[in-house]
Amino acid sequence: MSIISSKKYSQADSGGLIDYLWYSRYGHHSAKRDGIVNVEHADLAQHWPLFGLQIKTPRLEIRSPTDDDLPGLIAAIDTGVHDPTEVPSSTPWDSTPLLQQRFDSLREWWSHRATWDVDDWLFDGAVFVDGKPIGVQNIRAKQFAKLRIVSTGSWLGRRWQGQGLGKEMRAAVLHLAFEGLGALEARTEAYSDNERSLRVARAFGYVPDGQEYHIRQGQRARLLRFRLDRDTWLQHRRSDIAITGLDDCRDMFVR
């Protein structure tokens, strides 16, 4: 039986680790003592600057999720990520039990924080529409200071698909990469039958960059690679995307 089968996750659970860390540092759980404000209301961005990074477009906002945001992301996963008849990625969303999906997602998000390194990072950008989390747009890189190359990936709850939000998410994260961080190239990949992802890549001017084969849920599948250079991105650059909080965490991405 799965280790998580008897557990129930709620928004309250997310505070356990924060409470422990607060107690370890300050030795008490009181809301306010000796001028120290309870960590639940403290500005965590002072200690983990990524929490202060935001990318806003007219339609959505992307930011690093705090533990308080994670139950909302879990709820978005619970709505489904793709049609049960489709297999758009290597992640077996539809065939994985719901509790295991939740456990795996939380472990992955926390692991990306815990293993963050300036030479090997993955930024999980929670996507919010009208204050509600609807998916994740990530961006990752290795040796970014020297290579200036990023890769992107994403998922979006089914309820919000087919509304152009996938393209809007990509526009936001590419703005962070090229405008904010000075990237020279962005890469992405999609299976040959994932038409939605392929349409997004074509819309931004990505060009083919080879292919490879993977085993996807027991079957051979063709994975297509694409790349987008800075000059091509500049042709599609938007003026209505704003980045805030990057100066405070820039040295986490590049030094």
**pLDDT given at position 7:** 38
Q: Which residues pair with 155 in a beta bridge?
A: 136
**pLDDT given at position 199:** 94
Domain membership of residue 97 as a residue range? 54-253
Residue 111 shares a structural domain with residue 14: no
Q: How far is CA 239 from CA 56, 93, 233, 235, in A?
A: 11, 35, 13, 12
Q: What is the CATH number of the domain that holds 94?
A: 3.40.630.30
Residue 4 lies in a domain: no
Residue 214 lies in a domain: yes
Q: Which two tokens stand for residue 50?
A: 């990524």
**pLDDT given at position 218:** 84
**pLDDT given at position 18:** 45
Residue 37 shares a structural domain with residue 132: no
Residue 116 shares a structural domain with residue 73: yes
Which DSSP category does 119 fall into?
T
For strands 36-37 and 120-129, give the pairing. Answer: unpaired
**pLDDT given at position 21:** 43
Residue 176 shares a structural domain with residue 79: yes
Residue 29 shares a structural domain with residue 58: no
Type of residue found at 153: G
Which stretches of the chain drop beneath a pLDDT of 50?
1-18, 20-26, 28-42
Residue 125 shares a structural domain with residue 249: yes
Residue 102 shares a structural domain with residue 217: yes
For the chain, what percentages of helix, strand and coil (3-state, to nearest 5) are there? 40, 30, 30
Rg for the chain, CA atoms, rounded? 19
Residue 118 lies in a domain: yes
Residue 83 shares a structural domain with residue 16: no
Distance from the Cα of residue 111 to its chain's centroid: 13
Helix axes 98-114, 70-78, angle to 10 degrees: 140
Please count the structural domains in the chain: 2
Residue 180 lies in a domain: yes
What would the pLDDT profile of 197-237 be if each residue is shown by its tens digit?
A: 999 999 999 999 999 999 988 889 999 999 999 999 999 89
